[in-house]
Structure 1
């Protein structure tokens, strides 16, 4: 159980600050590594909400600016073949 002072960093993947701190203590020193180890930024919003915060947590830990920023992608929603076919016939 998380304590009351703990807060959610990534709402999409339900990642708490305590989990991020633990990964940082284990040696993660860039945003990409944090993302891969915690899944923060891999949810529906594609790191639009938590990405800037995660990058701000790690930017001072790496002395060289060689780390890779988190990649943002637009959200994708599935569409059924039936809806796809209907749209195709109307055009």
Structure 2
């Protein structure tokens, strides 16, 4: 049962703040582990929305620790229909 003050951190994968806290209590100590265990940051936006909060929760937002690789985010690809793909239409 979710608490009244709980909120969605990752809208793409519907991950709640309480879920992330439970994962951290189970031993995840960086945002990459949280991402892999909760799927937060693996949705359509590729952690552009929830990534900064994940890094702030774990303290991974500082550049002082060289052993950590920051969460990767990339822009979504433009969709193409199968019909355009079959015709070979590439307007780029």
TM-score interval for Structure 1 and Structure 2 normalised by the shorter chain: 0.7 to 0.9
* Cα offsets for 1:11-65 (capped at 9, x unmatched): 00000000000000011111100100000000000000000110011016xxx71
Give, in whole Å, the separation in 1 of the partners of 2:7 and 2:54: 14
Corresponding pairs, count: 87
Q: SS of the residue aligned with 1:24?
A: helix
Q: In structure 2, what is the equivalent of residue 12 of structure 1?
A: 12
RMSD: 2.1
Offset at 1:10? 0.3
Structure 1 segments, 4+ long, off by >6 Å, are none
TM-score normalised by length of structure 1: 0.83
> Which structure 1 segments of 5+ residues have no match?
none
Higher helix share: 1
TM-score normalised by length of structure 2: 0.82
